[in-house]
Structures are given as structure tokens and as C-alpha cells.
């Protein structure tokens, strides 16, 4: 996600993750052969190289799983705003509802793994900023897990005998309240996009992705953060800017980023051990 190429000191050539001299990392290098060497050095350590593979191999399948679970399975079940209709739909599709919830849970767990992997890659560029980016992504991942907990609470209210003493409309409205936990997505999106903005700046400094792509990542992530914050302050903002326009550019950037990281990791080779 971000560019500009730092250099390694000669004594850092070893198979373990090579520490980068921070003063050297602040330098910028032209693209070309030298830039390719710097990119290779940044992924020369086995930890960074394996982390890049994790991001590349896990990001797109995890996102696809979320899309199928949410839009393909869950939304047709709870898409209606009428509590009684939603309750009946859930009771008629309990297995699909639970499977979709598990899919979202797996996505949340994958998000945490990807967060740590990105931190490992970006840590040599700037440890403090990469840690802030990690925290933002972790919060987003935990919010997805909270969403799943709300989904299971909703179905529990509808099927467990201890809630049968509630009036039907009370039971349905209470279940609908927990289903509205998807509003938490935009809280998580704020943390995710803020993290992605920091990360995009670090990708720019690292030189691991083309400069234009990294700059697009900064702009799209900052845009998403601004939209998410505005929506939380003023819910009518969704009438001005379509919700799909909040995060779509940022997600496209991260999909491209995951592919680039996988390619870089597959092409990079461990640095030779000094004699």
C-alpha cells in the first residue's frame, strides 16, 4: 500500500528478520533496479516473507466468505425491517442463519490474523505507526466477533424456552434489537479505515507496492474514515453519500495490496548468511 524505498545496512544480511536502520528508512529511492533490491531486502526475513504470504493467501478468501455469509445467506433472512417477519424467517432458516453467523465469525478471526501479519511486515518501517495500525484492525476484528455474539443472542431469544414468557411482539422486538448490532459495523469501519490510512502511508514508505497504488490507498482509506465518522455523528449522511461508496475504494485497494504482497513474497529470496 505505500512506497518509497529504505535501505539496509550491510551487516544486516542474515536469514533472520533484518532490523532496518530508521534513519536510512527515511530516505527515498528512485524506482528501478535499486528499488527492487530494497523491496527484496524488506521481505528477506522469513517472518516478513511468511507474513506477506499469509496476507496474500487469506485476505481474498476471507472477504469472499464474508460476502457469501452476509449478502448471500444472512441478508435474505433478516433483510425485512418488520420484526415479526424477521423472527419467522429466522425460525424457518435456523441452520442457514447459524452457518452464516459462523462464516462471519471466521472472517473476524481471519481479520485478526491478517492484522498481525501486516504488522510484522510494516514493523521495520515504523514500529509505532505499525502498532497503531495493528490496534485499529484488531478493534475492527473484535467488533465482527461482537456482531456474531449478537446474532446468536437474537436466535436464542426466539428459540429458548426461558424467553417464551415474553409476549410475542416483545420477543420479536428484542431479537430485532440484537440484529441491529450490524450498526456496529460502521464503528469498526472507522477503526479499520483509520488503520488502513496509517498502513497505506507505511506502504508508501516501504516501497513494497507501486507509488500510485499506495497514494490511492491513503486517499481511499482517509475518505472511508471521514465518511464513517460523519455517519456516526449524523446518520442522515447516508442520504448524501451512498453507503457503498464509503469502503468500496479502500477494499479494492486492499485486495490489490494482498495480491501484490503475495507476488513479492513468492519472488523474494532469503538473504545469504554472511560468511
**Residues 180-186: what's their mean pLDDT?**
79
The two counts, helices (H) then strands (E), for the chain are 11, 0
Q: Are 137 and 115 in contact (CB under 8 A)?
A: yes
- pLDDT per residue as tens digits for the range 22-38: 443 444 433 443 445 45
Give 79-83 contacts, CB < 8 A, sequence gap 24+: 83/169, 83/172, 83/173, 83/175, 83/176
Q: What is the DSSP letter of 243?
A: T
Q: pLDDT class for 109, splitting at 50, 70, 90?
A: very high
Q: What is the DSSP letter of 60?
A: H
- pLDDT per residue as tens digits for the range 244-253: 999 999 999 9
The pair phi, psi for residue 241, each rounded to 5°, is -120, 125
Which residues, other chains included, contact 145 with Cβ-Cβ below 8 Å and sequence gap of 6+? 105, 108, 109
Residues 33, 38, 39, 41: is their CA dihedral positive or negative?
Answer: positive
Question: What is the pTM assigned to this prediction?
Answer: 0.81
The pLDDT mean for the chain works out to 84
Percent of the chain at pLDDT exceeding 90 = 62
Q: pLDDT class for 207, splitting at 50, 70, 90?
A: confident
Instruction: Give how far Cα 30 sits from Cα of 10, 125, 274, Å.
Output: 20, 17, 27
Q: How far apart are CA 159 and CA 207, in angstroms?
A: 54
Q: Are 267 and 56 in contact (CB under 8 A)?
A: no
Using alpha carbons, select from 35, 46, 32 the residue that is nearest to residue 6: 35
* pLDDT at residue 271, rounded to an integer: 57
- Total residues found in the chain within this entry: 275
Amino acid at each position: 500500500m505505500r512506497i518509497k524505498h529504505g535501505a539496509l545496512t550491510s551487516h544486516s544480511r542474515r536469514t533472520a528478520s533484518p532490523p532496518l536502520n530508521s534513519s536510512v528508512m527515511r530516505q527515498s529511492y528512485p524506482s528501478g533496479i535499486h528499488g527492487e533490491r530494497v523491496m527484496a531486502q524488506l521481505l528477506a526475513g522469513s517472518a516478513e516473507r511468511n507474513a506477506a504470504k499469509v496476507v496474500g493467501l487469506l485476505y481474498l478468501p476471507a472477504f469472499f466468505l464474508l460476502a457469501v455469509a452476509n449478502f448471500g445467506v444472512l441478508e435474505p433472512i433478516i433483510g425485512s425491517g418488520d420484526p415479526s417477519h424477521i423472527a419467522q424467517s429466522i425460525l424457518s432458516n435456523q441452520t442457514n442463519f447459524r452457518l452464516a453467523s459462523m462464516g462471519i465469525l471466521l472472517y473476524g478471526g481471519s481479520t485478526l490474523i491478517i492484522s498481525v501479519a501486516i504488522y510484522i511486515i510494516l514493523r521495520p518501517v515504523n514500529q509505532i505507526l505499525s502498532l497503531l495500525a495493528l490496534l485499529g484492525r484488531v478493534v475492527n476484528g473484535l467488533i465482527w466477533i461482537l456482531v456474531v455474539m449478537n446474532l446468536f443472542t437474537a436466535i436464542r431469544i426466539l428459540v429458548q424456552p426461558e424467553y417464551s414468557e415474553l409476549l410475542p411482539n416483545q420477543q420479536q422486538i428484542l431479537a430485532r434489537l440484537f440484529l441491529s448490532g450490524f450498526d456496529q459495523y460502521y464503528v469498526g469501519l472507522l477503526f479499520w479505515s483509520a488503520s488502513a490510512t496509517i498502513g497505506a502511508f507505511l506502504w508508501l514508505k516501504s516501497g513494497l507496492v507501486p507509488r500510485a497504488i499506495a497514494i490511492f490507498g491513503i486517499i481511499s482509506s482517509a475518505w472511508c474514515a471521514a465518511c464513517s465518522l460523519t455517519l456516526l455523528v449524523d446518520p442522515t449522511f447516508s442520504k448524501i453519500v451512498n453507503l457503498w461508496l464509503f469502503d468500496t475504494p479502500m477494499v479494492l485497494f486492499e485486495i490489490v495490496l494482498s495480491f501484490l504482497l503475495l507476488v513479492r513474497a513468492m519472488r523474494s529470496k532469503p538473504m545469504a548468511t554472511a560468511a
